[in-house]
């Protein structure tokens, strides 16, 4: 299917051509087009050009206008101020462009000109530990970026860098050896049960570790066995990983998110590379020995005492840490997976770690001008009091509890309207889930990722304002109009003049592809959320001012309005799907 150039790029092209025709000596000049309140677009480029060539900008602007041949896209062009052009698009061009979008499955959105391979590191919980709101952010933002990038034609490799290695496993495994039946379970254990078993075991082994010196010794020796690859020890370690995965999958399913097993490559997945990574870094001089440890130093990273704080690649006791694993993962992702972009959806509190890891990888040549790495850093989820989100007892909030509560609230909201809409009990339950989970995802995605945000369920499931429910209702309302339309179908009529609300909606619809391209390259899903919210707002104004199915409308007006409504629905549906949010047909 064909991609459809946006009206903005169409106008841009025509103006650029006219500039060259009017002023051949200017070469290829940019008309600097942008959206405007005065007209549809404003071009500011002539001012700078006149300055450069030493002419009168208003005269130059008039010349450019003359050079624009007869056409049916640029309706009205007015020279204004010191030499701007105010441009109004013809109604015909708006409707035609939208009709071309509607004829395409992808709504006319082009594929990226030069797609590459992105490895995206997201949804990375830790084995034998509960998932909390921080893991929510990484999963939700990461999943949206995966969908958006794939939609633009990028090859995306997902990596869930779960915390599945480290000294704490010595204690867990040793405890399990001494209490052999603690992780036994029937088949079909639920995620919740799996987690509560793990939790119990974690706490019991921790208590023993802290109180019993002999157990502590045995646990420490167990770490050595694990690292040496002792078979029995590894088998027990695997048991913890498998049990945790049952739990992770149950949470991801609740989140309505597809996580695939082969994409889970945790910290342990790079164990075989750690030695070599350190050797390469040491031999190339990127890392140096300091107080027995293998370190990388940076001019601009210093502690409060003014002394440099190094990235420790190998500890003085010979152990490897988080940095060695991440550096090995970079080698794997670049050299084996063929990535040209690495994206890390990780808490902003790990920014210094990634800054040092990326800089080290650049010095080693694993990252360079062709292969870049970015951290899509996110802020903290706050409670209503503006402090990091905690339970009343001061504990971190379990992600599942939070989702369950959101679903409960949302189900209540859905139930209130259910009778009027004629929803069955099954639909109420299903929609309650989509609205509840959508509310949580949307709240997370609709503010810029680096910012902290307050977790406020009342606000999240509110029907008014910038919420997913508002967008979901907009979509459901569209579907209801389409059902009421009966045998009247959506048909574009470019010959019709458009009302102001129709033009505004149409021009906004036309920007979908541009917004997606921007979101994909800047890794800012909140801009897609903002676009969709504005789309729903334009739709609301349109409903207020333009009746769709009114008996007073001539048939072609009904068809054209149905066409606008239908395209809005498809754009909402596509955009929400890219954010990982469902749009129920009836609500």
Q: In Å, how far from its chain's centre is CA 511?
A: 19
Tell me if 163 sits within 8 A of 350, measured CB to CB.
Answer: no
CB atoms within 10 A of CB 54: 6
Judged by CB, which is closer to ligand ARG: 40, or 121? Answer: 121
- Closest distance to ligand ARG from the beta carbon of 272 (Å): 17
DSSP of 354-385: HHHHHHHHHHTTSS-SSSEEEEEEE--EE-TT
Tell me if 96 sits within 8 A of 47, measured CB to CB.
Answer: no
Q: Where are the beta strands (DSSP E) in 200-305?
A: 288-290, 293-296
Q: What is the token pair recorded at 83?
A: 């030499």
Judged by CB, which is closer to ligand ARG: 336, or 426? Answer: 336
Judged by CB, which is closer to ligand ARG: 351, or 459? Answer: 351
Helix (H) and strand (E) counts in the chain: 20, 13
Cα–Cα dist 48/570, whole Å: 41
Candidates 518, 517, 528, 506; CA nearest to 572 is: 528
- Closest distance to ligand ARG from the beta carbon of 329 (Å): 6
- Closest distance to ligand ARG from the beta carbon of 30 (Å): 40
- Closest distance to ligand ARG from the beta carbon of 139 (Å): 11
Judged by CB, which is closer to ligand ARG: 156, or 329? Answer: 329
- Closest distance to ligand ARG from the beta carbon of 344 (Å): 6
CB atoms within 10 A of CB 276: 11
Tell me if 176 sits within 8 A of 236, measured CB to CB.
Answer: yes
- Closest distance to ligand ARG from the beta carbon of 68 (Å): 53
Q: Which residue has the tokens 């940095």?
A: 323
Judged by CB, which is closer to ligand ARG: 110, or 163? Answer: 163
CB atoms within 10 A of CB 184: 9
- Closest distance to ligand ARG from the beta carbon of 126 (Å): 5
Judged by CB, which is closer to ligand ARG: 121, or 143? Answer: 121
Tell me if 145 sits within 8 A of 343, measured CB to CB.
Answer: yes
Judged by CB, which is closer to ligand ARG: 122, or 215? Answer: 122
Given 3-state DSSP classes, what are the helix, strand and coil percentages for the chain, each rounded to the nearest 5?
Answer: 55, 10, 35
Judged by CB, which is closer to ligand ARG: 140, or 407? Answer: 140
- Closest distance to ligand ARG from the beta carbon of 74 (Å): 50
Q: What is the token pair recorded at 407?
A: 């679903």
Judged by CB, which is closer to ligand ARG: 218, or 333? Answer: 333
Cα–Cα dist 432/424, whole Å: 12
Tell me if 19 sits within 8 A of 45, measured CB to CB.
Answer: yes
- Closest distance to ligand ARG from the beta carbon of 523 (Å): 16
Judged by CB, which is closer to ligand ARG: 143, or 326? Answer: 326
- Closest distance to ligand ARG from the beta carbon of 124 (Å): 4
Judged by CB, which is closer to ligand ARG: 146, or 557? Answer: 146
Cα–Cα dist 583/476, whole Å: 7
- Closest distance to ligand ARG from the beta carbon of 332 (Å): 11
Judged by CB, which is closer to ligand ARG: 91, or 267? Answer: 267
Candidates 494, 473, 504; CA nearest to 559 is: 494
Dihedral (CA of 507, 509, 512, 518) sign: positive
Cα–Cα dist 169/175, whole Å: 10
Question: 353: exposed, middle or buried (C-beta count within 10 Å: 0-12, 13-18, 19+)?
Answer: middle
Cα–Cα dist 417/541, whole Å: 23
Judged by CB, which is closer to ligand ARG: 346, or 461? Answer: 346
Q: What is the token pair recorded at 220?
A: 């420490």
Q: What is the token pair recorded at 512?
A: 């979908």
- Closest distance to ligand ARG from the beta carbon of 198 (Å): 15
- Closest distance to ligand ARG from the beta carbon of 161 (Å): 4
- The DSSP letter of residue 74 is E
Residue ranges that bind ligand ARG, judged by CB under 6 A: 121, 124, 126, 161, 163, 326, 329, 344, 346
Does residue 103 sit in helix, strand or coil? Answer: coil
């Amino acid at each position: 299917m064909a991609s459809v150039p946006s009206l903005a790029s169409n106008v841009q092209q025509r103006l650029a051509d006219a500039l060259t025709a009017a002023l051949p000596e200017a070469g290829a000049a940019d008309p600097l087009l942008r959206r405007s309140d005065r007209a549809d677009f404003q071009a500011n480029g002539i001012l700078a050009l006149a300055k450069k060539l030493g002419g009168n900008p208003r005269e130059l602007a008039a010349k450019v206008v003359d050079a624009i041949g007869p056409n049916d896209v640029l309706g009205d062009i007015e020279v204004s101020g010191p030499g701007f052009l105010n441009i109004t698009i013809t109604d015909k061009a708006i409707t035609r462009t939208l009709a071309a979008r509607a004829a395409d499955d992808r709504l006319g959105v082009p594929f990226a000109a030069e797609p590459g391979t992105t490895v995206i590191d997201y949804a990375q919980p830790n084995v034998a530990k509960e998932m909390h709101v921080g893991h929510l952010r990484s999963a939700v933002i990461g999943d949206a970026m995966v969908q958006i990038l794939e939609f633009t034609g990028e090859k995306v490799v997902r990596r869930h860098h779960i915390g599945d290695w480290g000294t704490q496993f010595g204690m867990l495994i040793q405890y399990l050896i001494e209490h052999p039946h603690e992780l036994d379970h029937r088949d079909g254990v639920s995620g919740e049960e799996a987690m509560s078993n793990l939790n119990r075991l974690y706490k019991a082994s921790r208590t023993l570790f802290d109180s019993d010196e002999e157990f502590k010794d045995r646990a420490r020796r167990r770490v050595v066995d694990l690292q040496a690859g002792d078979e029995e020890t590894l088998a027990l370690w695997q048991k913890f990983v498998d049990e945790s995965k049952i739990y992770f999958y149950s949470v991801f399913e609740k989140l309505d998110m597809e996580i695939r097993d082969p994409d889970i490559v945790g910290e342990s997945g790079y164990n075989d590379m750690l030695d070599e990574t350190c050797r390469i870094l040491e031999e190339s001089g990127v890392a140096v020995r300091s107080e027995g440890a293998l370190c990388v130093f940076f001019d601009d990273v210093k502690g409060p005492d003014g002394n440099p704080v190094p990235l420790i690649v190998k500890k003085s006791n010979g152990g490897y840490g988080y940095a060695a694993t991440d550096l090995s993962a970079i080698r794997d992702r670049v050299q084996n997976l063929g990535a040209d972009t690495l994206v890390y959806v990780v808490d902003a509190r790990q920014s210094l770690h990634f800054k040092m890891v990326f800089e080290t990888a650049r010095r080693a040549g694993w990252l360079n001008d062709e292969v870049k790495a970015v951290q899509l850093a996110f802020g903290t989820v706050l409670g209503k009091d503006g402090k990091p989100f905690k339970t009343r007892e001061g504990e971190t909030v379990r992600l599942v509890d939070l989702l369950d509560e959101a679903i409960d609230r949302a189900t209540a909201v859905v139930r209130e309207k259910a009778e009027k809409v004629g929803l069955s009990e099954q639909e109420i339950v299903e929609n309650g889930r989509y609205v509840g989970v959508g509310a949580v995802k949307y709240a997370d995605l609709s503010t810029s990722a680096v910012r902290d945000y307050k977790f406020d369920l009342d606000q999240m499931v509110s029907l008014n304002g910038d919420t997913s429910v508002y967008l979901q209702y907009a979509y459901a309302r569209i579907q209801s109009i389409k059902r009421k339309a009966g045998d009247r179908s959506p048909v574009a009529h470019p010959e019709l003049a458009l009302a102001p609300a129709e033009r505004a909606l149409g021009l906004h619809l036309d920007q979908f592809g541009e917004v997606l391209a921007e979101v994909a390259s800047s890794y800012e899903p909140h801009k897609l959320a903002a676009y969709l919210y504005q789309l729903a707002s334009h739709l609301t104004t349109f409903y207020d001012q333009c009746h769709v199915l009114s008996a007073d409308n001539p048939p072609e007006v009904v068809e054209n309005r149905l066409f606008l409504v239908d395209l809005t629905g498809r754009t909402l549906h596509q955009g929400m799907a890219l954010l990982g949010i469902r749009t129920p047909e009836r609500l």
